[in-house]
Every structure is written in C-alpha cells, then in structure tokens.
Structure 1
Amino acid sequence: MLSTTRSTLRNTDVLVVGGGLAGLSTAVFLAQQGVDCLLIERRTELSGHPRSRGVHPRAMELMRSAGVEDELRSMPSARLLADNSGVIAAQSLAGPELGVLDEKYVMDVTADVGPLSPTGWCLCHQGELEDVLRGRAERLGVALRFSTELLSFEQDGPAGEEVTAHVRDGVTGTERTLKARYLVAADGAHSGIRQALGVPFAGEVLGHYANVHFAADLTEQLAGRRFLLCYTFNEQVRGALMPLDNASDWLLHVAYDPAETDLESFTEERCAELVRAATGVAGLSPRIRSVSPWEGAARTAARFRDGRVFLVGDAAHVMPPSGGFGSSTGIQDAHNLAWKLSAVLDGWAGETLLDSYDEERRPICEATVEQAALRSGDRPRLLDEPGERPPVHPGIVEDALVWLSWRYRSSAVASWDEGVLPGYGVWSAENDGRPGSRAPHLRLRKGGAELSALDLFGTRPVLLTGPDNRAWREAARALSHELGVPLALYGVGAELTDVDDRWPELYGVTAQGAVLVRPDGVVAWRCAEAPVFARNTLRAVLTRLFGRDGAGRDGER
C-alpha cells in the first residue's frame, strides 16, 4: 500500500493538466514563448492508441511554426497514408461498394491548397502526433510529470492572483502542493476541472462507439484502393474501417448501445467477429491490439475561462469525427491561448487580453461542433443512389472555410467595420486580411530564401508594411520602447520581396499602409494608407487591442 506524505512540489507560471494532444500542444506553444510551464498527466505514459487520424492545413501551419512539420510527415502513418483520399461505403471491405462521398463541400486531403497555405493535410494518427509533441516539449525544457494526478485546486491569494493545486504521485503516493499563476484544463471530455468549476457542457450525444485497433493483412481485399475511410453496412456490423498503413494495421469504429451492451463484452473473440464481418473475410484471424470506447457527442462548454483557469481541447468542446475537425480545433485553442498568457506574464499586455480567449475561441468552436454534427448527419446519404439523394443540409459550409476562413470578434481585434458576408456566420468566403481573420498566405523572398508570410509570426506582434514605410518604421521603433511591446516590422517590397505581387490584394492595403498581425497569425488591425500621425494611431491601437488602456509598462491596470 502506498504511503501518503505531503510536500511542496514547485512554483510555475502555468500548470497544464492533461498530457493528451491539447495539453502537449499548449505546453509546446507556451515553451516557444519562453513561458515556464509544468504539465501533469495521471497516466503513466501516452496511450499510443491511434484514435483520430489527420491534421488539417491550419493545424499543420501551427505545427510548422512549432518546428515539427517535417517530423510529423516522416512518421510511419503519415508516410504510408500520404496518397490516401476519399470516403466510401460498402457492405464490407471485400464486398460491393455502395456509395462515395463526393459532395461539393468536401475538399479532399490531396487537394492543392498551395494558393491558401504553405502546407497541407498530414495523415499522421494521434498516437504518433502526441509522441512528436512530447519530444518537442521536452527539447524546449517543459517539465512533464506523468503518473501525477490533480486532486483539487483553488484560486486564491490576496486578490485571487494564483492557483493552488493539490496533486498526487501515482507511484509513491506522495501528495504535493503546487502554486501557479494560471491553470490550463486539458483533461479531456470528462474534465474534472470543468466539473469542479460548475461550467455547463451543453449539447447532445449522437452515439457510443468502440475503437478496435487490430492487425490483419487485408492487402487482397483492399485491391489497390487507398481510401481514408470505409463505412461498412451489413447485418453483423455497422461501422467504419480506417487503414493505418494500407496493409495490416487497422482501426474499426463500431457503434454500440451502452444501455444494452457493456464495454467488457468487447472481448478479443467478439472483436474478431466484428472485424471478420466488417472486412468480409470469414476465416480471418485478426490480432486485437486494443479497444477504446468513445462518445460521439456535440458539446461546447458555456465558458472557456473561469478566473485563472482556461479550458482547451476536449475539456472545452467535443464533436463527432466527421470532417476531421476535433483534434485540430484543440490545437488552435492552445495556440490562441499561449501567446496571450505569455504577453500578460511578460508584462506587455494587460490582464484583460485573456478575456479574448473565450470571446474568440468559443464562437468558433461552437460553429465547428455544429459543422461536424451536420456532416455526421449527412453521412447516411452515402447509401442512397446519387440521383435519389436528398439535398445537402443548407447549413454545411465548405471544408476550406472551416479550416482557414473563420473570423474572430473580440476586444483583441479591430472593429468589424468590414463585416463577414451574409449567411456565413463566423466564416468568411473572403481571405483578404480583414481584422479577426487568419493572415493570408503570401509567398515572400528574404535574401535567397523563400518563405510564407505566416513564417514571420509566432513569438511577437508583427507590423507588415509596404515599401514606403518610413513613418511606420519610426513609430514602431519608438512605441516598442515606450510600451515595452516586442513589435517587429517587415517591409513587403523592402527587405521582403513579394514573389507573386499580391501583397496589396491579399492584405487590403496600399504601398503606404500597414497591417498589425498578432503572434498567433491573426490580423488585429489594418490601415490602408499611412495617417498623418502614424505614431499616435499605432499607440492607440496597441494599447487598446493588447489591454494596455491606462496601463503602465508592466501591463497591470
């Protein structure tokens, strides 16, 4: 029996609870900003279970900024699945095909997104993705503590300026107290932190599923096909087969009713029967590697911030896998939050900047959850004959809009004087540098190297200008010193060459204009022409958007 002792563990700026995809992403992005953070995870190790598979273009842009894009693409699943595409329905893998997902809203993973992004889809499965992020976090100096469970926490201090967490080492039983400035809840769909805060998690359950990870050589039944997913419909099983290596490594999603079927009933023998039914190979002897339950739900937390506690990933939202949005949405949560915590901790932004995390991410996540749910409801149409299929739900927007064309509306972006197009809600069909949107991909050349404008963003705000930028350059230099904001300035047409001559078109400015881009690559503000008093204009923008109104250099109000 473990003995229980108590001690003080350490102090840290940010405590991240949860060592899954969202938690590891948060730790990596914080460490890149130079933030001292500690990550705790109650499991002894990462699960390694493949679960979701695929990182969409926007999330891959963030992996690129984290320095792991090439490593991800070199992972076994990413290399072996690089040419896979398409979703089909069939009686079984060996049986006749029943339909193909070919709706206009679908942008295939092999589609060329070069005009929109410097990178594209990566079909690396989640187990390998988490391994890569863990390695990156360790190289950046993040303290990772596995076998460490959060027991309870309080927001305390004389003015509620810290979080006290009580944790237990699962190996020794030692209980420790930890002080942190902020706490990030990345503890999954059943988040104990979210429940302790009393944050409602509204939505609906769409179904319950078991993920069966198995090994069996199905090369003959594949018959050269390289699909992403094969829905299987027959009397024995309704599920979905996902190849992990286009040969012998597979996932089978199986629906079940927990009121009638206990998860323990998914024995190796039962799973083997389901695999034989889904593959259509009666004599198959698959090796069952693992079984993992999951709930197909569409839920969003009522708030993503509670004082000094922030929800990210599945703790903040869950969605069905249709569309492949879930894991990538969690990565974007982490990226949005990390630079804001860093800015406040470093003193160049005020505490009110942190309110914009909820203001920005929650509406986008709610809309993304809705898109995933609508796509899930659209999948049964695969079984209908093309000429007999009912129309696509009018609320479904194109994949590329969900990936790349959201717009934030918050205190950390300029007013929406150029609002989104009617009918699109948080999505905008225009990718032209409007405030609140992701800065457009622009091919640039610096010296002899070609890069994307997105490669300029990451650890500090950037002021992009045209070649005629003397007033902006002087203003940026003076205000960076005066306000303590680590503002960088790049002149497109000066030290940067616009390869395709698209700077004015994509960013909506003239040769005298300027665009302020946040560290997360989101346009905060733009000015088409240089004003008479550039310094005053820029000072007002920086103080307002970064929560510095009436603040001193330390950012405290």
Structure 2
Amino acid sequence: MNSDKSIVIVGAGPTGLTAAILLCLRGYDPVVLDRRPNLVGYPAAHVANTRSMEVFAEIGVADRVLEQGDGSALSGLVVWVESLAGREYGKLTIQGAALDDRGPLSAYQSVNIPQTNLEAILSDRLVELGGTVRFGQEVIAARNISGGATVEVRAVADDALTTMKCDWVLGCDGAGSAVRRSMGIEMEGPQTIARFMTIYFDADLDLFRKGRRGILYWIGGPEVRGVFISFDKIGRSWAMLVPVGDLAVEAFSDAAAVNIVKKAIGSDDVVIELQGVSSWNMSAQVATAYRHGRILLAGDACHRFPPTGGLGMNTGIQDAHNLIWKLCAVLEGGADDTLLNTYEEERRPIARRNTDQSVNNLMKMAMIDEALGIQTLAPIAQDAAEGPIATWPDEVLGIDGNNSEAATKRSAVQHAIDEQAEHFAQGAGVDLGFTYTTGVLVPDGSEPPSSEPCDYHPDAHPGSRLPFSSIDGRFEASTLDRVAPQGVTLFALAPAWGSRAAAASRETGVAVSVVIFGPAGVDLGANAAVLLGISEDGAVAVRPDGHVLWRTQAHDAGSEIELVRAFRLCGRKPRSERSHLANG
C-alpha cells in the first residue's frame, strides 16, 4: 500500500465507496468514515445508468449489480393512473437507445437496483481489496493545514471527539455536507422546489400491473398523488413519493401512511407491510467550488438534483471516476496539484447540465396536468388518509366514454405523456454523451457529437467518452476495457504509433499503454476506426477515466508535438525530472 499518503473519505454512499475502491485498486488505503451505524437504510436512489455500469465494470462489480438488479426494468413502462385499480391516463414505453447504425453504444444498459443493495456490493468489493468503512464516525468539520488537512470526528456511540490529520480529504457526505459547510462553500440555485414524504413498503401489486408492468406509476387521484417506485425484480419492494408541501412528515402516523398507499392503489384489500417513512427536500443546486486546498467535494455534497432523470447518484459516481485518477497522478509525483483544479473545471458544468435537465424534466410534466385539467403533483392535504377511497367524477376528467370529446381529451393526455420520452426514455445523450469542453484535453477543431437526450452518436471528440467498440459486444473485449488505469492509453491502427507514444512518454514521464487494433493488432470490431474518427495513420489518446485526451485523424508534421503537449496535461512533471526519467 502507498501508506505514506493518507486520504480520508467522508461518507460511505455510492460516491465515497466508488472513490475508495478506485484508490485501493491503485494501491492506496483510504480511511472511509460514515456516521451511520452500518449500511442498513432505505433504498433511496435506484438506477445505475449505463456510464455508471461501465465504471462498475472497471472496478469489478458490474456482474454483481446485474445479478442483484433488474437490467430489463428500464425497457419497460411508465404508467399514469388515477390509482392502480382506477382509471389509466396513459403510459409511456421506455426504449433506451442501445444502438446506433454502427453498433451497440455500450455493453451495458441501465439497471434498477436499490441504493442499499448497491452500497452493500461496493462495500464488499472494498473489503476484498483490503479496505474498510469506519461506521459510527461523524465528521463535523474539515480544515486545511500546512501540507495537508484535518477532520474533526465525533464518535456517535459516546460523543467523543478526535482530530485526524491526513494529506487529502474527499467530502462525499451528501446534501447536508459538513465538509462543504466547514469550508464555507455556498450552493447556487433554489434550495426548495418541493417537499416530499417517502413511504417505504412491501406489497404484492401484481394484480394491478397486468399488461403494464413497469417501475414507475404516477398517481393522480383527487386526494392522493405521487409516484410508486418498484425496487426489485419481483415487484414486492416499493416506495411511494408523496408531495406534502409545508406539512411535516410527523403530521402523518404510520396508519395514515398505509392508508395513503391503499388510496393510491385504489383498494383496501392489499396487505401493506410498512418499512418506514421519511421526508426530503427537492433542490436544484450546485456548489460554487469543488475544491478548497487539500479538501475536495464529490456527489451530493456539491450538487443536488430533482430525481426526475435519475442523475444524482450517477453524477456522483462519475465525479469520483474523474477525480481519483487526477488525485493519484498528484500523489504519485507525476503531476502538480493544479491538475486537481480541472476536476471542478470539467465536472461542475456537467452538474449544471444535469441540474437543468432534471428541472426541465420536472417542469415538462406540467403538460400532463394541463391536458388532464387536474394537478397530479399538488401537495396532499393533512387529512388525505381519512375517509373512503375517492375517485374523480366523470365530468371533472372528461376522458370516459366513446364520445368525440372524451376521445380527443384522451388523445391530448397521451400526447402529453409521449412528450415525456426525453425524461424517462432519456436516451444515451444524457447518460453517455456528456463532453468536457475545457480541462485535460487538446481540442482538435472538430464538432462535438450530439448530446441531445434521444440523439446521441458516439465520436472520439476530445473531452468525450471513448466510443464503445467490441468484436462481440462484451465490455471485457472492448475499447473501454483497454483503457489503462493510469497514464495515457493510445489507440491506433498503424504500429508506428508505438514508438511515437514511447517517445512522448520518455519526454514527459507519463506512462503510456499502446493499443494497436485492426489488421496489425487486436480486433475491436469492424467499425472501431469509424467510431474513433481516424484514418489508417490516425490515433486517439485516452485518459484513465475513459475520456478522450487528444486525437489526430491522420499523422502529420505536428502530430507528435501535439501528442507531447497532451501527455503534459496529465503529468506536468518538471523538465529536470523528465530528463532524469528519460535517461534512467
């Protein structure tokens, strides 16, 4: 272990655990602190998107996530109903874009898996690598000191306070981040868009899902509104998100929570096993800074999105993927710590983009309310659980019957639902199409690939994710799996690029792995060169996080100079040290 460099990770959620695993894979032994007594909790987030699944493949847990999750759920339905047993307003088929005309976009699609299960998988992987989580340890403050940082820790069991010194702190401690607050870093954007109560329960709802099996059911009744979320393959573990406005969750007893669920189902006969009730605040905020000296923020500690789009947890996992290779380059002496400034430079615009996308998804759902003529997301009343199950009178909705007016309104409602495809089907543009425009990359003058949610065509534009190409569609035999965990990976058709890359490595001290593909090397599929956008003498350099660093479509007189420039962005090692390495 590289035990001479100490790293404290605050928070053992998906972001913190992913960061810890990536560090362990590089030989470090981070200290992970979490205020909870263990990982047991409510499911919370529930979708690992395609890009996160690729990160999980890299760290060795993708197969476990697939085994415990449902890889087909995100190709199902989203349904809008008065209640599960009542009127159906309409439904949307989710068809995530898995292909373009050049082949599959990835070896993976999104997986429906509760956050609790995902955290257990990641924790097990951390333990396999020799790491652990110290539970019951609440970090209440973090400070920069000369040459390092400190965290003040409160032991939850006895309130004992200790101060730990370390080289670096990663604040992955969620929306209420004590690390962020102690740095005085502000959040930009609305703190409250809406407030929700979440009711977690187990129930067999198969009777009401026949012919319309999905993971989301939007409830728009006269008294009860919200959304049902399915967390497991068999459809027994559920949550209901209920808009409550200014009401405190304490205003609802356990019995009231069960009655709200029964009204949303539209039946008193279903057995409901209540697991718990919690409340949460929907925000749309991004931190003004991601770094303060030796302290860095990731995940919900630096961005909070509405859940409309499932981007929160995934953005945090991808934050860690971007950050850790840069931190390791600094720790291993190959880069000045200014490299870490590019973490915020690259990731903050993505957080802003994902915030805007999530808010846009939320606002667009008002189209359904307008078409129906009712408010499906209005806060419920405090007495909503009382009385019998209510339904909308026919004259209020006006969608029943075979008359032309009802048919026209039903068509308008379905059209409004179809317009939500960008939100729920989402497409690969949001998931895979995010591109860094500045940071650790060398622009090549090309136009970036389209990242519209439902119109994504991968391309090796500098700053974008390396396109997936594989002879058989497996991750283990793909371009992405060939990316080295450190230094630079160079993809080329011509073997001459091996010596060119080696020269750049000697000049800069940055490690290089060369992948010659095509007739002279490994088979990465018939369309690999087309996807990368290079000719027979072109090349693409890729960073450890799978994003394109540099590309030349064909070799010319300036290519090798530009390649050295690209390498230096990853290393920034002083020339005296580079000369020593080159001679040694």
The interval holding the TM-score normalised by the smaller chain is 0.7 to 0.9
Check the 8 A contact 2:54/2:108 in 1, yes or no.
Answer: yes
Alignment: residue pair count: 532
One-letter identity of the residue aligned with 2:263:
A
- Match for 2:70: what amino acid? A
The question of whether the paired residues in 2 share the 8 Å contact of 1:406 and 1:428 is answered with: no
1:13-412 to 2 correspondence within 5 Å? Answer: 13-75=6-68, 77-78=69-70, 82=73, 85-101=76-92, 108-109=95-96, 115-157=104-146, 161-204=147-190, 205-245=192-232, 246-257=234-245, 259=246, 261-383=247-369, 384=371, 385-387=410-412, 399-412=427-440
Q: Is the 8 A contact 1:465 1:511 kept in 2?
A: no
Distance 1:449 1:407 in 2: 21
Give the Cα separation in 1 of the matches to 2:128 and 2:164: 23
Letter in 2 for 1:220: L
Task: Note the aligned Cα RMSD (angstroms).
Answer: 3.0
Match of 2:380 in 1: none
Asked if the contact 1:460–1:488 (Cα under 8 Å) also holds between the matched residues in 2, the reply is: no
Distance in structure 2 (CA, Å) of the matches to 1:360 and 1:416? 17
User: Does 1:517 find its partner at 2:538?
Assistant: no
Q: 1:70 to 1:393 in 2, by over 3 A?
A: closer
Q: For residue 509 of structure 1, report the CA deviation from its aligned partner.
A: 1.5
Q: For residues 371 and 386 of structure 1, what CA distance do their matches in structure 2 show?
A: 26
- Say whether 1:418 aligns with 2:411: no
Under a length normalisation based on structure 1, what TM-score does the superposition of the two structures give? Answer: 0.88
d(CA) in 1 for partners of 2:432 and 2:477?
19
CA distance in 2, matches of 1:231, 1:492: 48
Q: Using the alignment, how far apart are the partners of 2:138 and 2:356 within structure 1?
A: 33
In 2: Cα distance, 1:386 partner to 1:338 partner = 50
Which structure shows the higher helix fraction? 2
2:188 alignment partner AA: A
Deviation at 1:478, TM superposition (A): 4.0
Q: CA deviation at 1:193?
A: 1.5
AA paired with 1:316? C
User: AA paired with 2:513?
Assistant: A
Query: 1:387-443 CA deviation, whole Å, 9 max, x = no partner?
Result: 365695999895311111111022311136224379x69999542201000000011
**C-alpha offsets along residues 306-340 of structure 1, whole Å, 9 cap, x if unaligned?**
22211111111111111211111111011100111
Alignment match of 2:533 (pick from 496, 501, 508): 508
1:449, 1:314 → 2: CA distance? 29
Q: Structure 1 stretch 397-406 or stretch 434-443: which is displaced more?
A: 397-406
TM-score by length of 2: 0.84
Q: Match of 1:431, as an amino acid?
A: P
CA distance in 1, matches of 2:436, 2:453: 7
Q: Distance in 2 between matches of 1:449 and 1:285?
A: 43
Structure 1 distance, partners of 2:449, 2:105, is 19
Q: Higher mean Cα deviation, 210-219 or 362-371?
A: 210-219
Within the candidate set 455, 462, 483, 1:435 is matched to 462
Q: Relative to 1, partners in 2 of residues 1:14 and 1:88: Cα closer, same or farther, differing over 3 Å? A: same
How many angstroms apart in 2 are the aligned matches of 1:188 and 1:222? 35
How many Å apart are 1:200 and its aligned residue?
A: 1.7
Q: Closer, same or farther in 2 for the Cα pair 1:417/1:482, shift >3 Å?
A: closer
Q: Is the 8 A contact 1:298 1:369 kept in 2?
A: yes
The CA deviation at 1:444 is 4.4
SS state of the match for residue 370, structure 1? helix
Q: Tell me, in whole angstroms, the C-alpha distance in 2 between the residues paired with 1:167 and 1:83.
A: 40
Q: Distance in 2 between matches of 1:228 and 1:443?
A: 31
- Structure 1, unmatched stretches of 5+, are 1-9
Stretches (4+) displaced over 4 A? 81-84, 109-114, 388-398, 424-430, 532-537
Q: In 2 relative to 1, CA 437–83 (structure 1 residues): closer, same or farther, beyond 3 Å?
A: closer
How far residue 537 of structure 1 moved from its aligned partner, in angstroms, is 4.2
SS at match of 1:195: helix
Q: Deviations over 1:139-174 (max 9, x none)?
A: 1122311101113222111xxx20112213223544
Cα 1:341–1:409 shift into 2, 3 Å? same
**Separation of aligned partners in 2, 1:185 and 1:546:** 25
